[in-house]
Chains A and B, each alone.
Chain A
Amino acid sequence: MFIERIDIHPTHTRDKFKLRCGKPFPFGATLIPGGVNFSIFSRHATSCTLVLFDKNSPEPMAEILFPKEFRIGNVYCMVVFGLDYENIEYGHRMDGPNNFKQGHWFDNSKILLDPYAKIISGRDIWGVQPDWDNIYQYRGKIAFEDFDWEDDCHLDIPSEDLIIYEMHVRSFTKHPSSNVKHPGTFAAIREKIPYLKELGINAVELMPIFEFDEFENSRLNPQTGEMLLNYWGYSTVGFFAPKAGYAATGKLGMQADELKSLVKALHQNGIEVILDVVFNHTAEGNEQGNYISFRGIDNQTYYMLTPEGYYYNFSGCGNTLNCNNPIVRGMVLDCLRYWVSEYHIDGFRFDLASILGRDPWGKPLINPPLLETLAFDPILAKCKLIAEAWDAGGLYQVGSFPDYGRWAEWNGKYRDSIRNFIKGDGNINDMALRLQGSPDLYAETCRTPSASINFITAHDGFTLADLVSYNHKHNEANGENNNDGENSNDSWNCGVEGWTENQSINDLRQRQIRNALAILMISQGIPMLLMGDEIGRSKQGNNNTYCHDNELNWLDWTLLEKNVDLFKFVKNCIAFRKSHPILRQSHFLNQDNSGSTHPDITWHGTKAWNPDFSDHNRTTAFMLCGRQIGRNKKKDDYIYVAMNMHWEAHNFEIPKLHKSIQWHIFANTGVKSPEDSWEPGNEPLLDNQQEVLVGSRSVIILVGK
């Protein structure tokens, strides 16, 4: 039986357009039989006009006022029939009060982007100078939401098994040495999947890929004359649209298909996709900023405003999205649901997430509705939620971010502790906690080690190679007189600031890099590796390269050849982590010794069973026993790790095990490649089973089997 619906027929006519009252949900532009359903919220607007452009036209081809009877509550909704939807661009004009103190910014002369636009044109090809006279810069387009995923689904990798690789889409392949067909794009990442697979990571975390304008606040560096851009993209224009300039097919408007195709291919290779999302502010900036969307649609709803009508600036970027307003909360939820269901995204890392826990006046909430909503949402139920648990307004919530049993955190304390320990300034007690997944931060509230995203380096701050080569930041190229970027880096240059030919300093740096990576991979919690650290990437001491579209950010693939030894070391460390469940426990250690003569973790010093937790001690060792009946009831080996951050070598007495078990050496950062690490399973037997010499500033990892 087939009976035609009667709502495929128009009820109204305006000029050449056939119309009908639309459906209020879903918001945005939705393809329906015969037409397009447009729906947009505004609480304070007095009228709304749909503005239609032919693709790339400077002037609109039509403006259709939403008839009064097409407004349901605070939602304007209208079906327009017979549109050539592949070739139109749309926006809205909103009329309403314009009163700064009351927070109203309505201006009928502005054409506004739909907050729910799924495709945005205007910056279709990266780096092409925009025409600033264009009356409508960022244009909503209608998306086909019909990608053929075949049997693809979310990978649902258990959190404790994740090994995250933080990367920037353009930086990963833009360098000429990348040898890909479309450098700097989603398509190029797909070409490089074999590399990621060989490295062994199982999740990529993409720095912002929501549409942004690389030309926002673009300027020339006064010293070099070089164009500085909004390169990293932490400034969202549209939350539902992928960045067109990151797609080889952005010029054809096919960025959604290209990104989906990348996600599908990554999934086929066992790699999850986590997006770095920026909900703390938008690209509209402060009171001097441009009208793009929200401020002209309903400024008072979308932004946190002072009683005088100014923007609160908890983001450090001019404005603050009003995340716990119910309308905005709904938008954030719709957005994440969309990315999970439409793009098969596996998780999100929330930039300056503490803002998401503030009320509309900026006060931190005990039980923030947005964070709770996301934690309990049925569609987001399996995806990873990761908070950058601080903001630019001084809220620091590492260890106390409202988690509802779901949220993990970028563990800034892990980063600080490991950095200090490696340079010889650490605190052994603190270090012991970090190695165990930071129980001091997470155990009391019944969270697991997976609450801790362990990282030593990330996009903000030094790369690992720079961390061991610079005492101070060198951000002159940013054109801000070296005033931007973090001052406290806990870094050590090993004797000379920056590049040197001194072999012993370079050897020490190589060792320090390996120490850091080895410690990262044997810590409980979720390790996150920064793109390029596995091949010694440097940013010349710049710790805030947000504005550079050049070699400072682009990954130089010739490093893979130059530092192939390091790459092999990292690869082995990752494989080692993957082959030992005892390194990836879903509960805190020191709780369980059932089925074994040893507890799951024991601490040692240069003398076995005699740990020294005194101040200024620079050596420590621990042993993990995998003989408990743990996860999957699979028994693991013993693992012994000795860390000597003293400038002198020390002999470490190794704990004696049952005579059937012998110690093998997996890694020793104190010796040169290829003997710095071994493929898991092929570790050579240790000659001396009683003690091992750990060289100055070195880490040794043994496996007892």
Chain B
Amino acid sequence: MAINLKQVADVSIIEIEDKNVDSRTVSNIQHEIMPLIESNSKFIIDLSQVSYMSSGGLRMLLSSYRKVTAKNGKLILVGLSEEIKDTMSVTGFLDFFHHSENAITGLALFLEK
């Protein structure tokens, strides 16, 4: 398993369990995330266990985000390490996402209208 799934009310919390998200792991993760995205519309992706995210990994996140928002869903990233957040910021990826400190604060964002 590349991910760990928790359901809190109608929000799916996807915790990524790989330390490195790169071309070696990204297709497994994608393979597990995609069916979930088909069946739900509210997501938190928890990256607190991830210490390295490659260019391909960031593309997987953005691609997931696009799929979710295409059906008016919402996806929030939580648990971003400083380094990953910084990489996402300078490459422009961060601008696309809502992000929050951790899963709890992320859930709070769903409660806000």
What residues of chain A have their CB less than 8 Å away from a CB belonging to chain B?
A: 84-87, 144, 146-148, 181-182, 185-187, 190, 247-249, 252-254, 257-258, 260-261, 264-265
Contact A148–B91 (Cβ < 8 Å): no
Q: Which A residue's beta carbon lies closest to that of B23?
A: A86
List chain B residues, Cβ under 8 A from A181. 86
10 A-B pairs with the lowest CB-CB distances in the bound complex, closest first: A261-B92, A187-B90, A257-B91, A86-B23, A86-B56, A248-B90, A254-B55, A84-B23, A258-B91, A254-B91
List chain B residues, Cβ under 8 A from A147. 92
Contact B23–A85 (Cβ < 8 Å): yes
Bound complex: CA of A260 vs CA of B56, how far in Å?
Answer: 17
Bound complex: CA of A641 vs CA of B93, how far in Å?
Answer: 49
Bound complex: CA of A659 vs CA of B3, how far in Å?
Answer: 80
Contact mask for chain B residues 83-98; partner A; CB cutoff 8 A; 1 contact, 0 none: 0001101111100100
List chain A residues, Cβ under 8 A from B92. 147-148, 257-258, 260-261, 264-265
Contact B24–A258 (Cβ < 8 Å): no
Contact A257–B93 (Cβ < 8 Å): yes
Tally inter-chain residue pairs, CB-CB below 8 A: 52
Among B54, B55, B93: residue with most chain A CB under 10 A: B55
Q: Which B residue's beta carbon lies closest to that of A247?
A: B90
Bound complex: CA of A187 vs CA of B87, how far in Å?
Answer: 10
Bound complex: CA of A257 vs CA of B93, how far in Å?
Answer: 9
B22 within 8 A of A: yes
Contact A148–B96 (Cβ < 8 Å): yes
Bound complex: CA of A510 vs CA of B110, how far in Å?
Answer: 58
Quote the shortest CB–CB distance from B30 to chain A (angstroms). 13
With contacts A181-B86, A190-B90, A252-B87 taken as known, whether A257 is within 8 angstroms of B55 at the C-beta atoms is: yes
Quote the shortest CB–CB distance from A121 to chain B (angstroms). 12
B71 within 8 A of A: no
Bound complex: CA of A248 vs CA of B91, how far in Å?
Answer: 9
Q: Which B residue's beta carbon lies closest to that of A257?
A: B91
List chain B residues, Cβ under 8 A from A186. 90
B interface residue count range (under 10 / 10 to 19 / 20 to 34 / 35 or more):
10 to 19
List chain B residues, Cβ under 8 A from A261. 90-92
Contact A253–B55 (Cβ < 8 Å): yes
Interface pairs (29), CB distance under 8 Å = A84-B23, A85-B23, A86-B23, A86-B55, A86-B56, A87-B23, A87-B24, A144-B55, A144-B56, A146-B59, A147-B92, A182-B90, A185-B90, A187-B89, A187-B90, A190-B90, A248-B86, A252-B54, A252-B55, A252-B87, A253-B55, A254-B87, A254-B91, A257-B92, A258-B90, A258-B91, A260-B92, A261-B91, A264-B92
B62 within 8 A of A: yes
List chain A residues, Cβ under 8 A from B59. 144, 146
List chain A residues, Cβ under 8 A from B93. 257
List chain A residues, Cβ under 8 A from B91. 249, 254, 257-258, 261
List chain B residues, Cβ under 8 A from A187. 89-90
Q: Which B residue's beta carbon lies closest to that of A85?
A: B23
List chain B residues, Cβ under 8 A from A144. 55-56, 59
Bound complex: CA of A253 vs CA of B96, how far in Å?
Answer: 21
Quote the shortest CB–CB distance from B95 to chain A (angstroms). 8
Quote the shortest CB–CB distance from A114 to chain B (angstroms). 19
Contact A249–B90 (Cβ < 8 Å): yes
Quote the shortest CB–CB distance from A272 to chain B (angstroms). 18
List chain B residues, Cβ under 8 A from A260. 92
List chain A residues, Cβ under 8 A from B23. 84-87
- Contacting A at CB under 8 A, from B55-110, are 55-56, 59, 62, 86-87, 89-93, 96
Quote the shortest CB–CB distance from B91 to chain A (angstroms). 4
Quote the shortest CB–CB distance from A550 to chain B (angstroms). 25
Q: Which B residue's beta carbon lies closest to that of A147?
A: B92
Partner of A86, one of B22, B62, B86: B22
